[in-house]
Amino acid sequence: MKNVDELINKTEPGWTLVSEWISSAKNKVEILTCDSAKAKDALYKTQITTRSPMGAIIYSTGGLLIDNGWIRILGSGNSKLDRTLPDWNKGKTFNEYGEAPSFLLIADDAVGGFFAINGGELGKDLGKVYYLSPDNLNWKPLELTYTEFLLFCFNHDLNKYYEGLRWKNWQEDVSTLDGNKVYNFYPFLWTKEGKNIDKNSRKQIPVEEQYSFNIDMIKQLENN
C-alpha cells in the first residue's frame, strides 16, 4: 500500500474542483468538517489520491449531506455522519484494506437506499455507480461515474428521482436524522402493500442493520 504522503496531491488538489461544483449546486449541500488525522487514515485505507474527487472528499471532508441530509456521501467521518468510507466498506465489499473491492459503497440515503461503484460484481461496467433501491432491492445501473454521481447529487431534481419514496413533511424528519440511521418502513417498500409511503409506518434504525437486512433479503428472494 502507498504511504499517505504519496496520496496527497498538493499541486492539483481535487477539492478545488469539487468545491466549485458545490458552490454552484442547485441542491443544498452541507460540507461536514473532518479531523485531519482521521482524514489521513481514511485516505490511506482507501488508497486513492486527493487529485481524484473521491480522494478529495475523503481527505477534505467528513462527508457531504445532500438535500437536508437525504443523501449522505461518505468521507472521513463527522459526528453527523460517524462513518468513514473505508471503514464502512470493510467486511462488506472487501476483507482487508488495500484489496480490490467487488463493489465500493460510496453513499446512502434516508430511506435505506445504497449507492456503490461497481468493482466487477454488479456488472461489466467497471467504475460505474449502481443504486440498491429500497422499493425493489435490485442493484440498478445509473450509468454514472463517481464524478458524474456527485454532479447528479448536486444538481439533479431529486424530488423527481425519488418520486414515491418521499412522504409528506419528510424534510422535517430527515433534517434531524443521524447519518448513521435510516428510516425503515412497514409494510416493506418492495412489497405490493408497501407502495404508498405515506400510509406505511416508519421508524429509525441503524444503517448497518438496514444494509445487512437488505443483503439478506436479496439472497432469500434469489433463492425463492
Q: Domain limits of the chain?
A: 4-223
SS3 14: helix
Q: Are the CB atoms for 56 and 14 separated by under 8 Å?
A: yes
Q: Are the CB atoms for 106 and 117 separated by under 8 Å?
A: yes
What's the average model confidence in pLDDT over 42-70?
A: 98
Q: Does residue 202 carry a pLDDT above 80?
A: yes
What's the average model confidence in pLDDT over 175-185?
A: 98
Q: DSSP code of 108?
A: E
- pLDDT for the residue 57: 99
Name which of 158, 152, 163 is nearest 195 in CA terms. 163
pLDDT band of 222, cuts 50, 70, 90: confident
As a whole number of angstroms, the distance between CA 139 and CA 96 comes to 24
SS3 67: coil
Q: Does residue 223 carry a pLDDT above 90?
A: no
What's the average model confidence in pLDDT over 132-138?
A: 96
Name which of 29, 25, 26 is nearest 63 in CA terms. 29
pLDDT band of 40, cuts 50, 70, 90: very high
- pLDDT for the residue 221: 85
- In the Cβ-directed half-sphere of 213, how many Cα atoms lie within 13 Å? 15
As a whole number of angstroms, the distance between CA 163 and CA 173 comes to 17
Q: Does residue 224 carry a pLDDT above 80?
A: no
pLDDT band of 42, cuts 50, 70, 90: very high
Cell numbers describing residue 38? 482521521
* Crossing angle for the helix pair 36-46 and 53-60, to the nearest 10 degrees: 150
Cell numbers describing residue 34? 473532518
As a whole number of angstroms, the distance between CA 85 and CA 78 comes to 12
